Amino acid sequence: MWTATSLWIVSIAALAVYAAFAARDVNAGGHVATWVLGAIGLYFGAILLLCASYFTIAWIWRARPPREVRLDVAGTLRLWWNEYRTLLGSPPRLMLYRVLVRDPEIPPTHAPVLLVHGVLCNAGVWRRLVRYLREAKVDGLYSLSYGPPLESIETFAEQLARKIDAIVAATGAPRVIVIAHSMGGLITRAYLRKHGRGRIARVVTIGTPHHGSMLAWFLVGASLAQMRPGNAWLATLNRERFDPALRFVSLWSWHDSMVAPQTSSELPGAVDVTIAGVGHNALLGDADVFALVRHEIEAQRRADASREATRSVMPPDPCPV
C-alpha cells in the first residue's frame, strides 16, 4: 500500500504540474506533440538516470568475478538493457499490484508459496514470475506487501509471521515455501531467528544482500541502515545459524546492480546458486531464475507428497507406549 500510494501521489502531482505548463504553452501557440514527446522523454530519462546510478555504485564496489563469467561488450549491453526495461515497467506494476498479484481464492492442496519482495517495493514486482508459474500449473501463490517501507526489518518480520499464520490457518497446510527477493531474504532470516523453521518448508532468496550492500549508504531509513555492511544488526543476524534440515537456497548474480559487493549474497550453510549477466531487478524477469524457483517449489511438493504416502502405508505400531 505504502509504495503504491506514494507512486500514485507523486505521479498525479507531477502530471498535473506538467499539464499546467503544457496548457499554458499550447495556448500561447506551442505544439501538443512536443509536450507529449517531452513527457515520454522525461520518464525514460529519469529511469535511465536511476539505472545508471545503481550500476555506477555497484561497479565501484564490485566483487571481482571469475574469468568465465566476465562479460564482453554485447553481454554488458544486454545486462544494461534488461535491467533498464525492467525498471521502466516497475512503476505500473507497483501502482497496480492489488490487481496484478492476488492471493488465490481456492486454497491449494499442497505447500503454499509465499513471495516476499524487497525494499521500497510491493508484491507488484512478482507479476512476471507469478504469470510464469501459473502458466506452468504451479498454484497456491501468495504474496506479502509490508510497510511502511523505511521501518525496521524486525517490524517486517512480524508482518511476515502474521501472513504465514494466516496462510496456514486458511489452507490447513503445516508449512509454506518462501521465495524472497533482495531485502525480503533478510526479513525471512529475521523471522527464522525469532520464530524458528516450524512453519517454513524451504527458502529461496534471490539477490539478497546477506552481508549488506554499499548502496544502502546512499539511502535513509531503519531498514536501509540495517543493510549497510558491517552494521550491528546484520552482524548479529549473521552469527545465527539456521537449522541444517531447512533447505535454504541463495540465488545471486555476479553482475547484480544493487548488491555491492555481489558476493554479499553468499551465505554459509545455504546452497549458493550463481548466474551472470543479470541485474538486480532483472532477476525477477530472468528465465533461469524462473526455472530454478519452479524446480525448488516442485521438489518440495514432491517431497511432501512422498512423506504423506509413506505415512499412509506404514502399519500401526503393535506395541504403542
Annotated domain spans of the chain: 97-306
Say which CATH architecture domain 97-306 belongs to: 3-Layer(aba) Sandwich (3.40)
Share of the chain above pLDDT 90, in %: 89
Q: pLDDT tens digits, residue range 230-285?
A: 999 999 999 988 788 899 999 999 999 999 999 999 999 999 999 999 999 999 99
Q: Is the pLDDT of residue 109 over 70?
A: yes
pLDDT-derived band at 310 (thresholds 50, 70, 90) equals confident
Neighbours of 239 (CB within 10 A): 8
Q: Is the pLDDT of residue 321 over 50?
A: no
Q: How many residues does the chain have?
A: 321
Q: pLDDT tens digits, residue range 255-268?
A: 999 999 999 999 99
Of 110, 115, 145, 77, the C-alpha closest to 284 is 115
Place of cell 545465527: 240
pTM of the model: 0.93
Q: What angle, 0 to 180 degrees and rounded to 10, lies between the N-to-C axes of helices 183-195 and 232-239?
A: 60
